[in-house]
Amino acid sequence: MGGAISITGMGVICAIGNDSQSVLDSLKRKESGIGPMKYLQSVHTDIPVGEVKLSTGQMRQMLGITGDNPVSRTSVMGAIAVREALSQAGIKNLEGKRVALISGTTVGVMDVTEQYFERMKTEPELQYLPHSNECGRSTHEIAEYSGLGNARCCTICTACSSALNAIMLGADMLKNDEADIVIAGGSEPLSRYHLNGFNSLMILDRQRCRPFDETRAGLNLGEGAAFVVLEKDVPDALAYVSGYANRCDAFHQTATSKDGDGAYLAMSGALAMAGIRPEDIKYINAHGTGTPDNDASETAAFRRVFGDRLPDMSSTKSYTGHTTSASGSVEAVICILAMLNDFVPASLGWSKMIPGGYVPTMGRSGADLDYVMCNSFGFGGNDSSMILSKNRPSGEDAPIMDESRVRVAARKVISDDAELALLKEYLSPMETRRMGKIMKASLLSAFEAMKEAGLEKPDAIVAATSKGMLELSNMFLEEIAQNKEELLKPTLFMQSTHNTIGSAIAIRTGCHGYNITYSQGDDSYYWAERDARMLLRKGEAKAVLVCSFDENLLDGRTKDFKAESIIYTID
């Protein structure tokens, strides 16, 4: 058990470079990669984006992918970053090693689905394409294109915190001796789907984003992929993962709490695991999207953790755009580049302080960065923070309790339309008005299971889904097609990320604890149950709620569904 979690390789592709070296060069030259869209097909050409400066075809070529089957940008960007990471780690022979590939994504293969959405309805030969947002598929493709065909694959879908959560899972698996080598990170392409979704939420700036500036008016979407190779106890590694935490704001699906509760808890948790004080942190790579909401609430959380003495802080989304599900690993790689090259990346676009806020750094060289903090926050208030260190931490972990002490305290399945009326006992019509059947069934199964177990609030929530919020995603795709990307309903988009249900349970139960959603086809539940058992055995929770859900559609609407909630406890 234990052992320092060592980062032995890293790879990245994003708007400011196709590999680590070119990303480093752009950061040092303070050159942003945000500009007019070139590869994404959308009517909203006035919206600036941070695109990878390669077509999907060029990336296929780089990877030697032949044939003319459509391939998602998620898969090719991911494979390019994984290949770079493996090459830097000097890993050639994986024979006999237990290897896992963990990727964070929420768009998944949606960029392909949306291109063929209309044609898929009538052309049977296109039916093999994913008529769903099965994220796990992109992770299998990344493994295939990067020579990791035999790796165990796992996909985490917690919106914009996905990739940082993937690195956390990788670190946990090494600590628990479940793998020898883990390649963890995330990949997210630009898609018409989420560009229109963010546009419907009115949080896209028509100019370059200005994180932490008083006049900030929203974010710029970006795309990219980044992965790190994690191994245990390697001396002189690139960097070490010394602390991390995932917590839930449990406030609103798309808005953040005023005091940044989730962000505060995540940063505090990461510091506690690393066993260091706030003043030990030398640089913070903030989530800093540039939306009025995020930056205000992240600032409030900084105030609670660091008081008046905030370390150098910047948002590198001013270079890359917000690479959403990939942002956690893209920015973790940027943090490692900063540590290795003794510099602090500048925040671009800033000129005027938020009243009571902080001045982000304009960049600094000759900085000795022992400890850096990387923040990554997602929809549903899914807030993660990670501390990376230059020097090898002691790596002592708490002992884990025996598997035989884990109990199933309650289990409840909801799969019948007629049962959904029971939700009235728990929620008002105002609270249920936006919910589709799968959301109602999941919440009802969670409430009923908690009642049976005599549990008021779980300590952690883990969700599992193969296809995600299928009906809502299809309705939003349909709207995009019908309305030609104009006047779209934010209500549909805001509930369409895979972690909507995990977040909704947290909001309704007030659970600020760990909150992760897995989407790996038929293995989704395996990963969720594994996670719940480990949380209990490590003493991080006394009761964990695991909710698995999926639905099938007929003519774009829910045909049948099944939601199951299980309460796991420890003696």
Partner 1 sequence: MEELILNLKEQIIDALNLEEMTPDQIDNDAPLFGEGLGLDSIDALELIVILDKFYGIKLANPAEGKAVFKSINSIADYIKKNRTK
Using CB under 8 A, which residues numbered 200 to 229 contact partner 1? Answer: 200-202, 217
- Helical (H) or strand (E) element with 358: none
Using CB under 8 A, which residues numbered 274 to 333 contact partner 1? Answer: 292
Quick one: 200 exposed, middle or buried, by C-beta within 10 A (0-12, 13-18, 19+)?
A: buried
> Cβ of residue 487: shortest distance to partner 1, in angstroms?
5
Active site residue 44: no
* C-alpha closest to that of 242 among 512, 2, 28, 531: 2
> Cβ of residue 448: shortest distance to partner 1, in angstroms?
23
* Binding region for partner 1 (CB under 8 A) out of 22-30, 77-85, 409-417, 488-496: 488-496
Catalytic residue (one of 131, 194, 322, 498):
322
> Cβ of residue 253: shortest distance to partner 1, in angstroms?
8
The residue from 253, 259, 340, 457 that contacts partner 1 (CB under 8 A) is 253
Q: For residue 100, what are the CA distances in angstroms to 22, 177, 440, 559?
A: 27, 12, 34, 35
Helices 110-120 and 470-482 cross at an angle (nearest 10°) of 70
Catalytic residue (one of 135, 160, 374, 511):
160
Does residue 489 belong to the site contacting partner 1 (CB under 8 A)? yes
* Binding region for partner 1 (CB under 8 A) out of 7-15, 183-191, 350-358, 482-490: 482-490
- Helical (H) or strand (E) element with 260: none
Quick one: 272 exposed, middle or buried, by C-beta within 10 A (0-12, 13-18, 19+)?
A: exposed
Does residue 488 belong to the site contacting partner 1 (CB under 8 A)? yes
* Binding region for partner 1 (CB under 8 A) out of 196-204, 333-341, 370-378, 524-532: 196-204
Does residue 484 belong to the site contacting partner 1 (CB under 8 A)? no
> Cβ of residue 355: shortest distance to partner 1, in angstroms?
16
Look at the chain and count its residues: 571
Active site residue 287: yes
Does residue 439 belong to the site contacting partner 1 (CB under 8 A)? no
Termini Cα distance of the chain: 22
> Is the backbone of residue 468 left (phi > 0), alpha (psi -120 to 50) or beta?
left
> Cβ of residue 135: shortest distance to partner 1, in angstroms?
24
Coil/strand/helix, residue 323:
coil
**Integer Cα distance of 92 and 8 in angstroms:** 13
Does residue 433 belong to the site contacting partner 1 (CB under 8 A)? yes
Structure tokens at 305: 């953790």
* C-alpha closest to that of 547 among 506, 501, 510: 501
Judged by CB, which is closer to partner 1: 202, or 359?
202
> Which residue carries 């369409």 as its tokens?
496
Does residue 355 belong to the site contacting partner 1 (CB under 8 A)? no
Catalytic residue (one of 131, 194, 287, 512):
287
Judged by CB, which is closer to partner 1: 46, or 402?
46
**Integer Cα distance of 293 and 315 in angstroms:** 15
> Cβ of residue 553: shortest distance to partner 1, in angstroms?
19
Q: Are strands 371-378 and 281-285 parallel, antiparallel or unpaired?
A: parallel
* Binding region for partner 1 (CB under 8 A) out of 357-365, 444-452, 461-469, 489-497: 489-497
The residue from 278, 395, 490, 521 that contacts partner 1 (CB under 8 A) is 490
Judged by CB, which is closer to partner 1: 202, or 408?
202
Structure tokens at 265: 């808890």
Using CB under 8 A, which residues numbered 403 to 432 contact partner 1? Answer: 429-430
- As beta bridge partners, residue 372 has 283, 388
Judged by CB, which is closer to partner 1: 201, or 238?
201
Does residue 255 belong to the site contacting partner 1 (CB under 8 A)? yes
Does residue 254 belong to the site contacting partner 1 (CB under 8 A)? yes
145 backbone dihedrals φ, ψ, rounded to 5°:
-80, -10
* C-alpha closest to that of 130 among 117, 146, 149: 117
Residues 6+ apart with CB under 8 A from 197: 476, 488, 490, 493, 494, 496
- As beta bridge partners, residue 187 has 225
The residue from 30, 120, 491, 553 that contacts partner 1 (CB under 8 A) is 491
* Binding region for partner 1 (CB under 8 A) out of 23-31, 46-54, 133-141, 250-258: 250-258
* Binding region for partner 1 (CB under 8 A) out of 152-160, 242-250, 251-259, 519-527: 251-259
Contact residues: partner 1, CB under 8 A: 200-202, 217, 252-255, 292, 429-430, 433-434, 487-491, 494
Instruction: Return the active site residues.
Output: 160, 287, 322
